[in-house]
Amino acid sequence: GESVGLHLPTLSVQEGDNSIINCAYSNSASDYFIWYKQESGKGPQFIIDIRSNMDKRQGQRVTVLLNKTVKHLSLQIAATQPGDSAVYFCAENMGFGNEKLTFGTGTRLTIIP
Amino acid sequence: GAGVSQSPSNKVTEKGKDVELRCDPISGHTALYWYRQSLGQGLEFLIYFQGNSAPDKSGLPSDRFSAERTGGSVSTLTIQRTQQEDSAVYLCASSSRDWPYEQYFGPGTRLTVT
């Protein structure tokens, strides 16, 4: 079946540098994409989302890019801080509504002081 | 305001026993979701409620798993005759009908079947 997958399971970044976390999806019908951050022992926390009719969306220190041509999603975190260390999941939703999310395996981001 | 809460936070049970996991969604959220997360893995969808009805139960791994939601609020996930492979963190999320339909997650229940 189709699924959301991630290119890299782990990523280490020097504090203050920018980080990029990538995600590949295979379902061209997916309409809505979300990035979640999960710290140890906690549930996932919403970071940012993007609809399929957009290719870029910015938040506070985060930017999500969507390339529908190659079915690729990325999360950019600017000026990383120790608190950014966590597992990051991308998720896709095929419905414009309260539908289930399909999650990728996740990327563990470690910020090196 | 109060977020999604789950209880218990940890549950250790013997193989073959039944367990009940509880989720209290954010007040006013109409949708409620159950996910399972094995160690080092992503989130596996189990079931989704809209109000008290479950339009999508496709993720329940076997007939040992069931869930209900009453009063459009609290939900209970029941696992009968637990097996060791049921050991995981069970996460609950809720969302409203307003865009962006953001799902708010609870802290999860860590289930260990011995």
Q: Find the mean pLDDT for residues B62-88.
A: 95
Structure tokens at B108: 């999860």
Tokens for B25, please give them.
């969604």
The amino acid sitting at A91 is: A
Measured between CA atoms, how close is B41 to chain A, in angstroms?
5
Chain segment B7-52, per-residue pLDDT in tens: 999 999 999 999 999 999 999 898 999 999 987 777 888 998 988 8
- Give A93 to chain B, closest Cα distance, Å: 10
Rounded distance between C-alpha atoms, residue A36 and residue A88, angstroms: 6
Mutation target for A interface from B53, B58, B96, B103: give the one with most A CBs within 10 A: B103
User: Taking chain A (113 residues) in consecutive chunks of 10 residues, what is each chunk's mean pLDDT?
Assistant: 52 96 87 92 92 94 95 96 95 70 87 95
- Nearest CA among B34, B35, B22 for reference residue B75: B22
- DSSP letter at B27? T
Q: Which of A51, A98, A99, A101 to mutate to test the interface with B (most CBs of B within 10 A)?
A: A98
| Nearest chain B residue to A97, by CA | B101
